[in-house]
Amino acid sequence: MSSAGQHPARVVVVGGGLAGLRTLAELRDQGYGGELVWIGAETVPPYDRPPLSKELLSRLEPLDLAEDLGHDPAALADAVHLGRSATGLRREADWVVETDAGDVLADAVVVATGSAPVRPWPAASALHDLADAERLRERLRPGRHLVVVGAGWIGAEVAGVAAAAGCRVTVLEAGSWPLWRQLGDAGRRTRAWYAEAGVELRTDVVVTSVEDGTVVLDDGSTVAGDVVLAAVGVRPRTGWLGDAVPLLPTGHVATSRGGRTAVPGVWAVGDVATRDTVHFGAVPGGHWFSALRDPALLAADLLGLPLPAVEPAPEVFSDQLGHHLEVVGRLVADDEPGAARLLRAPRDGGWSELQLVGDVLVGAVVADWPREVSMVRKLLRGESLPRLDTTRAADPTAPLRSAVLP
């Protein structure tokens, strides 16, 4: 590392996706003039991943993120190594990033290696990258039976797309309702969407194995399909770090607001990081907005610049089964002191479930209500979180802003 008060002479960004690309751009935009090296495991330039599930059958070519965002990797980085996987990290006189094509020296390292799908059953398909999407797209045809294991974000999105294209779709969920891990009780409100979209949803069923298109359940019964998709979550791709950086039990790297890890000279961003925030505690990455926005904070931190006093609230979005769903801020836990949830459901079909601690708004789950999403974003971006008149907020005909207490 360079001496105190100076920027590191060489920064190596490991990860060829959106978080890595945005880190390169933010470092240059914020004045970094040293050497930048970019390493990515995939051989293709970074592309937008959400459409892989949301538009699986309609978007045949991926959106080139560099072109879409106006970032030229060749101009940003002094060296670009796509198709080169990081295999280890060790500290000598400098940091050494070990790769399958040799070692790369660094004064500072940014870990942005994303996540990998959980694959409990080798015979089942997964959907995480461009190659997965191409293989799945080739196998889905009208009249074929798709069995999806998992009613989370990806499972619901693919189920809706496949059903709309004429596939028979069955979704198997171990929990008692969809999105129970992601949304808690609010996930119950999405159950009806499956039947409306022509998708069979079976809950409280546990898959024990998948063999040759046959899904075996823990009661011994089976479900046969032409295609089986395992959509049971992802894990941060941090195994390559070994003992160089401490990991949380989830596999994430804990960081400060600016992405700084507990190890000097190493930052982390995107899916791999659980980042501290102004109002919402430690928030794990794993979603598009964290990969898009958080590199700006990381670049400022790495360069010793002040971080902004406020930042956008964490946000997750999903287009599934003919509906648009957003989570802004954080969800309250059932056992959290003062936790409350307040449903706003106007007659037009959209709804929001406000997340409160006492009378303080900390987040919301919003379905099919763009104005509500926009207002929640604004309210959660201030220097302090807003207090609400909960009686006023319970009236879905009243704009949410009118419920904010002075």
pLDDT (tens, 9 = 90+) of the chain, 406 residues, equals 343 358 999 999 999 999 999 999 999 999 999 999 999 999 988 888 888 898 988 887 878 888 889 999 999 999 999 999 999 999 999 999 999 999 999 999 999 999 999 999 999 999 999 999 999 999 999 999 999 999 999 999 999 999 999 999 999 999 999 999 999 999 999 999 999 999 999 999 999 999 988 999 999 999 999 999 999 999 999 999 999 999 999 999 999 999 999 999 999 999 999 999 999 999 998 889 999 999 999 999 999 999 999 999 999 999 999 999 999 999 999 999 999 999 999 878 899 999 999 999 999 999 999 999 999 999 999 899 999 999 999 999 999 999 999 9
pLDDT recorded at residue 44: 87
CATH fold, domain 331-403, is Enolase-like; domain 1 (3.30.390)
CA angle 358, 402, 308 (to 5 degrees): 70
CB 217, CB 206: distance < 8 Å: yes
Entry pTM: 0.93
Instruction: Enter the tokens of residue 82.
Output: 């796509």
| Contact between residue 282 and residue 111 where contact means Cβ atoms under 8 Å apart | no
pLDDT for residue 66: 85
Measured CA to CA, the distance from residue 267 to residue 254 in angstroms comes to 10
| Rounded-to-10 torsion of CA 260, 262, 265, 266 | -60
Distances (CA, A) of 70 to 26, 48, 67, 370: 12, 14, 5, 27
Check residue 58 and give its pLDDT.
Answer: 85
Are residues 157 and 51 in contact, defined by beta-carbon separation less than 8 angstroms? Answer: no
pLDDT confidence of residue 5: 53
Are 229 and 153 in contact, with CB atoms under 8 Å apart? no
Question: Which residue intervals of the chain bear CATH 3.30.390?
Answer: 331-403
> What is the location of CATH 3.50.50.60 in the chain?
10-116+235-302, 119-230
Can you give the pLDDT at residue 3?
38
- Residue 127's contacts (CB-CB under 8 Å, 6 or more residues apart) are 52, 53, 56, 117, 133, 136, 154, 158, 229, 231
Domain 10-116+235-302 homologous superfamily, CATH: FAD/NAD(P)-binding domain (3.50.50.60)
What distances in angstroms separate CA 250 from CA 19, 173, 175, 247, 359, one per listed residue? 20, 22, 20, 8, 31
What is each CA distance from 377 to 5, 339, 374, in whole angstroms? Answer: 36, 20, 5
CATH architecture of 119-230: 3-Layer(bba) Sandwich (3.50)
- Region of 357 please: left (phi>0), alpha (psi -120 to 50) or beta: beta
Residues 6+ positions from 395 with CB-CB distance below 8 Å:
344
Helix, strand, coil share of the chain (percent; to 5): 25, 30, 45
Half-sphere exposure of 75 (CA within 13 A, CB side): 9
Element housing 136 (H / E): helix 130-139
